A = this chain, B = another copy of it.
Amino acid sequence: MKEKLALLKLLADETRLEILNLLLKEDSYVEKIACTLSLTPATICYHLKKLEAAGIVRCARTQFYMIYSLNREIFDLPLSALIQKESPAEDPDEKYRREVISHFFKYGKLTQLPTQRKKREIVLAEIARSFVPDRKYDEKEVNDIIHRYHEDHCTIRREMIACGIMAREKESYWLI
C-alpha cells in the first residue's frame, strides 16, 4: 500500500508530470529540462532523483551530460491497481462494532440504549450473546439475564424481539 501511495504522490505533481512528458518524447538531461520548463537545474535534479528512486526513470552518464530516460513499463498499470490494497485488512464492520460496544458499555453495563437503529442492533446483539442458541427461556430468565446489563430489562427484551434477535411464543423466548 505504501508503495502505491508513494507512486501516486510522485505522479501528482505538475513539474514531475511535465518532466515525464518531455522524457516521453525523448531522453534528455537536467539543464535542458530546466531550461525548457523555466526552472533551476537544482529543482529538476530534485525531481529526477525522486523519480529515479521510484524506478520511474533511469539515468546514465555520457560525455558531458547525465542522460535521463523513462522506464515505460510502469505506465501500463490501470488506476484500479493503484488504489486497491493487497492485504485484505480488518473488516470495517467489526471495527465499528467494537467501537460502538466500547462506547455504550462501561464496566460490562449498558450505559444507555442507542436510539440509532444500527448502533442499537449492535448493542442488542452483544447482550444476546448471553443467551444459548436453541434453548427456550421463560420471561423471568430473560429478564434476569438482561438485568445484568441494564435496569430496564423490559424495554430491551421488547427491542430484541422487535429487531428480530429473539422470538417469543406464549411464555417462551429463544434466540433466532
Residues of chain A at the chain B interface (Cβ within 8 Å): 1, 4-5, 8-9, 11-14, 17, 20-22, 24-25, 28, 32-33, 35-36, 64, 74-80, 82-85, 89, 92, 95-96, 99-100, 116-117
Contacts and interface: CB of A to CB of B under 8 A. Distances in A.
Contact of A83 (B5, B11, B78, B84): B11
Contacts of A84: 21, 24
Nearest to A10: B12
**Interface residues of chain A: helix, strand, loop or mixed (majority):** helix
User: Which one of A13, A35, A95 has the greatest number of beta carbons of chain B within 10 Å?
Assistant: A35
B11 A95 contact: no
Nearest to A64: B116
A85 B116 contact: no
